[in-house]
Chains A and B, each alone.
Chain A
Amino acid sequence: MPEFSPVDYAVPGFVLLVLLEMLWAWKKRPEAYEPRDTLTSLAFGLGSTVAGLITGGLFLALFLWVWQYRIFDFGPEWWTVWWAWPLCFVLDDLKYYWVHRFGHRVRWFWASHVNHHSSQHYNLSTALRQTWTGALTLGFAFALPLVLLGFHPVMIAICGGFNLIYQFWIHTEAIGKMPRWFEAVMNTPSHHRVHHATNPRYLDRNYAGVFIVWDRVFGTFEEECPDEERIRYGIVKQLGSFNLLWSVFHEWVGIVQDMWRAPWRHKLSYLLREPGWTHDGSRETSDMIRARWLERTGRPEPGAQENPIAAGERTA
């Protein structure tokens, strides 16, 4: 069985590229980096690797147990079945799309994923701003269908590692748009800037990891329009703090406070409904913010009617 963690090998490259982007910022856009923000983001990255070490073994054990009940068997030397690797990579990316979409649409998942979005900067250090609390969500369950199909948990982990490495370079403002054919299929800096934006038109769009086609298929794609408005990054209610522990746990604290104060029949909704939902309408969800913006600007809802899945979610 191969013992290989692609991310471990990529870390020196991450550091080097952050350094290069900093030099670019120094020459061209000094405001693209901020020392305290960079320190917070990188500390997130380091902490997340520690959290991964603590919980990774548990999930591997669970997946190995489930793997006993697999539908297809790739044989005792499963790593030699060459075509299983690209297939696993593509299916893992599809899985990533849905985990990620849930990460934005269910507050329980968002409490963990918000960490990746809470910087008001968008640079390569933001890519390393990874959660410490992923194990507290049900994100791991999305990998179970792959395990049951017969993909070995180690194969899935390796593919997931390459997926993560791919996503590193797209966290930059230093690259404009890639060639059209590439933008059509792959996730790019342009597509992912949209994902990190707080402009109402861009909220909860472009969930893709590697292949942007998932967003096009499932109706969540939005094109970046740099000529129409400047992109703003972060979260709808900006943190306004560089305190690392507050940055890590603020949404979990918010959930506990909201559940504590809410009437009994609404308590679970504060965990399971979308971020911003309140039983008394005192806050706004991303759908509400976008709807208000569309009304204010008199624009038609972009793209949504074309796709039955996206339209269904909106009317639900």
Chain B
Amino acid sequence: MQLAQFGGSLVAILLLAWLAHRLGLGGDLRIRSEDQARELADEAVSGFDPVDIAIDRAGCSAILRDASGRILLLRRHGAHFAGRLITTRPEARLDQGLLTIGAEDKPFGTVTLNLGKAAQEWAASLRRLEKVGA
């Protein structure tokens, strides 16, 4: 009986998730302006007030710096955005205008931002951060 209940619930769960997908729920949220990036930054880290903002060309992520030099990485997570402060020198790779950053928090994953010319400048500022354990 309990096994049947478990099986039935599992089928219902998969059907609901499939339906959410079929209905196109979740939308396609992008960062369209600096004001929006600013608002998302404040949501990610309360009180974070950026003075430098670089938004990925597709609007899927952004990197921001506040007046005290803290760097915040924002990326899309489903129908929302999530952020991480980059406090130590991260694993980062620069490939022309593409900057790939791995947050210290591994499950957060790596983020590739298409920043064009600004990518080099941001890569340099990441290199200036202290290494882990330094």
Contact = CB atoms under 8 A, between A and B. Distances in A.
A5 to B, nearest CB: 11
Nearest to B108: A240
A241 B107 contact: yes
B7 to A, nearest CB: 10
B16 A42 contact: yes
B25 A30 contact: yes
Interface stretch (B30-38, B71-79, B94-102, B121-129): B71-79
Contacts of B84: 240
Given A30-B27, A53-B2, A35 B21 contact: yes
Contact of B25 (A22, A49, A239): A22
Interface in B1-41: 2, 5-6, 9-10, 12-14, 16-21, 23-27, 29
Contact of B75 (A31, A39, A46, A240): A240
Interface in A187-236: 198, 200, 232, 234, 236
Interface stretch (A160-168, A288-296, A301-309): A288-296
B107 A34 contact: no
Interface residues of A, number: 46
A25 B25 contact: yes
Interface centre among A15, A34, A45 (most CB of B within 10 A): A34
Interface in A233-260: 234, 236, 238-243, 246, 250
Given A33-B20, A33-B26, A35-B17, A242 B78 contact: yes
Interface residues of B, number: 36
A39 B46 contact: no
B109 A18 contact: no
A50 B3 CA distance: 10
A35 B25 contact: yes
A11 interface: yes
Main secondary structure of the interface of A (DSSP, over half): helix
A31 B17 CA distance: 14
B80 interface: yes
B90 to A, nearest CB: 15
Interface of B: 2, 5-6, 9-10, 12-14, 16-21, 23-27, 29, 43-44, 46-47, 75, 77-80, 82-84, 105, 107-109
22 contacts: A19-B16, A26-B24, A30-B26, A31-B25, A31-B26, A34-B25, A34-B26, A38-B17, A38-B20, A39-B14, A42-B13, A46-B6, A53-B2, A120-B78, A121-B78, A234-B80, A236-B46, A238-B44, A238-B80, A238-B82, A240-B83, A292-B46
Interface of A: 8, 11, 15, 18-19, 22-23, 25-26, 30-39, 42-43, 45-46, 49-50, 53, 120-121, 125, 198, 200, 232, 234, 236, 238-243, 246, 250, 289, 292-293, 296
Nearest first, the 5 closest Cβ-Cβ pairs linking A and B are: A240-B82, A34-B26, A39-B17, A33-B25, A238-B82
